[in-house]
Structure 1
Amino acid sequence: MAEQLTQTIQALNLKIQQLEEKSAYQEDTLESLNDTIGKQHQDIQKLQTQIRLLSEFIKNLKSDLDSGIKHASEETPPPHY
Protein backbone atom coordinates (compact mmCIF):
# COMPACT_ATOMS: atom_id res chain seq x y z
CA MET A 1 0.00 0.00 0.00
CA ALA A 2 2.76 2.45 0.92
CA GLU A 3 4.64 1.52 -2.24
CA GLN A 4 1.58 2.24 -4.37
CA LEU A 5 1.14 5.58 -2.63
CA THR A 6 4.80 6.43 -3.29
CA GLN A 7 4.37 5.57 -6.97
CA THR A 8 1.25 7.71 -7.19
CA ILE A 9 3.06 10.64 -5.57
CA GLN A 10 5.99 10.21 -7.95
CA ALA A 11 3.63 10.09 -10.94
CA LEU A 12 1.86 13.24 -9.73
CA ASN A 13 5.18 15.01 -9.16
CA LEU A 14 6.24 14.08 -12.69
CA LYS A 15 2.96 15.43 -14.08
CA ILE A 16 3.40 18.65 -12.09
CA GLN A 17 6.93 19.02 -13.41
CA GLN A 18 5.73 18.47 -16.99
CA LEU A 19 2.95 21.02 -16.55
CA GLU A 20 5.40 23.55 -15.09
CA GLU A 21 7.72 23.03 -18.07
CA LYS A 22 4.85 23.49 -20.51
CA SER A 23 3.70 26.59 -18.66
CA ALA A 24 7.21 28.09 -18.74
CA TYR A 25 7.49 27.34 -22.46
CA GLN A 26 4.09 28.92 -23.11
CA GLU A 27 5.02 32.02 -21.12
CA ASP A 28 8.22 32.36 -23.14
CA THR A 29 6.31 31.89 -26.39
CA LEU A 30 3.69 34.43 -25.36
CA GLU A 31 6.35 37.00 -24.49
CA SER A 32 8.06 36.40 -27.82
CA LEU A 33 4.77 36.77 -29.69
CA ASN A 34 3.99 40.01 -27.84
CA ASP A 35 7.39 41.41 -28.85
CA THR A 36 6.78 40.37 -32.45
CA ILE A 37 3.34 42.00 -32.47
CA GLY A 38 4.81 45.23 -31.08
CA LYS A 39 7.47 45.31 -33.80
CA GLN A 40 4.91 44.53 -36.48
CA HIS A 41 2.71 47.36 -35.22
CA GLN A 42 5.63 49.78 -35.54
CA ASP A 43 6.41 48.46 -39.03
CA ILE A 44 2.77 48.87 -40.07
CA GLN A 45 2.74 52.47 -38.82
CA LYS A 46 5.91 53.23 -40.80
CA LEU A 47 4.47 51.61 -43.92
CA GLN A 48 1.22 53.55 -43.55
CA THR A 49 3.21 56.78 -43.31
CA GLN A 50 5.22 55.86 -46.41
CA ILE A 51 2.04 55.01 -48.33
CA ARG A 52 0.49 58.33 -47.34
CA LEU A 53 3.61 60.23 -48.43
CA LEU A 54 3.81 58.32 -51.72
CA SER A 55 0.12 58.92 -52.36
CA GLU A 56 0.58 62.66 -51.80
CA PHE A 57 3.66 62.64 -54.06
CA ILE A 58 1.76 60.86 -56.83
CA LYS A 59 -1.19 63.25 -56.53
CA ASN A 60 1.16 66.24 -56.76
CA LEU A 61 3.01 64.67 -59.68
CA LYS A 62 -0.26 63.98 -61.48
CA SER A 63 -1.41 67.53 -60.81
CA ASP A 64 1.86 68.92 -62.18
CA LEU A 65 1.62 66.73 -65.27
CA ASP A 66 -2.03 67.58 -65.87
CA SER A 67 -1.33 71.29 -65.69
CA GLY A 68 1.56 71.02 -68.19
CA ILE A 69 0.01 68.69 -70.75
CA LYS A 70 -2.47 69.99 -73.28
CA HIS A 71 -5.49 68.04 -74.40
CA ALA A 72 -5.09 66.42 -77.83
CA SER A 73 -7.56 68.87 -79.39
CA GLU A 74 -5.47 71.81 -78.12
CA GLU A 75 -2.20 70.51 -79.57
CA THR A 76 -1.02 71.80 -82.92
CA PRO A 77 -0.53 68.97 -85.38
CA PRO A 78 3.02 67.95 -86.20
CA PRO A 79 4.55 69.49 -89.35
CA HIS A 80 4.20 66.36 -91.47
CA TYR A 81 0.39 66.60 -91.54
Structure 2
Amino acid sequence: MTQQHSDLASELESLEVKLAYQEDTIESLNQTVIAQQDQIDRLEQKVRAMLDKLKSIEEPEMPSAGQIELPPHY
Protein backbone atom coordinates (compact mmCIF):
# COMPACT_ATOMS: atom_id res chain seq x y z
CA MET A 1 0.00 0.00 0.00
CA THR A 2 1.29 3.42 -0.85
CA GLN A 3 1.73 6.26 1.58
CA GLN A 4 -1.24 8.07 0.03
CA HIS A 5 -3.51 5.06 0.56
CA SER A 6 -2.29 4.71 4.12
CA ASP A 7 -3.01 8.40 4.82
CA LEU A 8 -6.50 8.08 3.33
CA ALA A 9 -7.23 4.98 5.39
CA SER A 10 -6.06 6.74 8.54
CA GLU A 11 -8.20 9.79 7.78
CA LEU A 12 -11.20 7.57 7.06
CA GLU A 13 -10.73 5.72 10.33
CA SER A 14 -10.46 9.02 12.20
CA LEU A 15 -13.72 10.22 10.62
CA GLU A 16 -15.44 6.94 11.52
CA VAL A 17 -14.35 7.31 15.14
CA LYS A 18 -15.61 10.91 15.26
CA LEU A 19 -18.90 9.84 13.71
CA ALA A 20 -19.32 7.10 16.30
CA TYR A 21 -18.76 9.59 19.13
CA GLN A 22 -21.21 12.03 17.55
CA GLU A 23 -23.86 9.34 17.20
CA ASP A 24 -23.37 8.41 20.85
CA THR A 25 -23.64 12.05 21.90
CA ILE A 26 -26.80 12.55 19.85
CA GLU A 27 -28.40 9.46 21.39
CA SER A 28 -27.46 10.64 24.88
CA LEU A 29 -28.92 14.09 24.21
CA ASN A 30 -32.05 12.51 22.77
CA GLN A 31 -32.55 10.43 25.93
CA THR A 32 -32.05 13.57 28.04
CA VAL A 33 -34.68 15.45 26.03
CA ILE A 34 -37.12 12.55 26.35
CA ALA A 35 -36.60 12.42 30.14
CA GLN A 36 -37.06 16.19 30.44
CA GLN A 37 -40.25 16.09 28.38
CA ASP A 38 -41.61 13.33 30.62
CA GLN A 39 -40.81 15.45 33.66
CA ILE A 40 -42.46 18.52 32.10
CA ASP A 41 -45.57 16.46 31.34
CA ARG A 42 -45.76 15.21 34.94
CA LEU A 43 -45.28 18.72 36.33
CA GLU A 44 -47.95 20.15 34.02
CA GLN A 45 -50.33 17.42 35.18
CA LYS A 46 -49.63 18.28 38.83
CA VAL A 47 -50.16 21.98 38.20
CA ARG A 48 -53.49 21.26 36.47
CA ALA A 49 -54.55 19.08 39.40
CA MET A 50 -53.60 21.81 41.88
CA LEU A 51 -55.50 24.44 39.89
CA ASP A 52 -58.56 22.19 39.74
CA LYS A 53 -58.35 21.66 43.49
CA LEU A 54 -58.03 25.38 44.13
CA LYS A 55 -61.03 26.09 41.92
CA SER A 56 -63.09 23.50 43.77
CA ILE A 57 -62.43 25.08 47.15
CA GLU A 58 -65.23 27.49 47.96
CA GLU A 59 -64.16 30.90 49.07
CA PRO A 60 -65.81 31.89 52.32
CA GLU A 61 -68.36 34.61 51.84
CA MET A 62 -67.16 37.88 53.24
CA PRO A 63 -69.91 39.97 54.82
CA SER A 64 -70.43 43.36 53.27
CA ALA A 65 -69.60 46.46 55.29
CA GLY A 66 -73.25 46.87 56.36
CA GLN A 67 -73.48 43.29 57.60
CA ILE A 68 -70.43 43.33 59.85
CA GLU A 69 -71.40 43.06 63.48
CA LEU A 70 -69.14 44.99 65.78
CA PRO A 71 -68.03 43.17 68.92
CA PRO A 72 -69.48 44.51 72.17
CA HIS A 73 -67.33 46.96 74.01
CA TYR A 74 -66.51 46.18 77.63
Structure 1 runs not aligned, ≥5 long: none
Aligned 1:35-50 pairs, distance under 5 A: 35-50=31-46
Matched, 1:71 2:60: no
CA distance in 1 between partners of 2:52 and 2:13 (Å): 58
Corresponding residue for 1:21?
Answer: 17
2:5 aligned to 2, 9, 17, which one? 9
CA distance in 2 between partners of 1:79 and 1:60 (Å): 36
Corresponding residue for 2:53?
Answer: 57
Q: Percent of counterpart pairs with the same letter? A: 35
Structure 2 runs not aligned, ≥5 long: none
SS in structure 1 of the partner of residue 72 of structure 2: coil
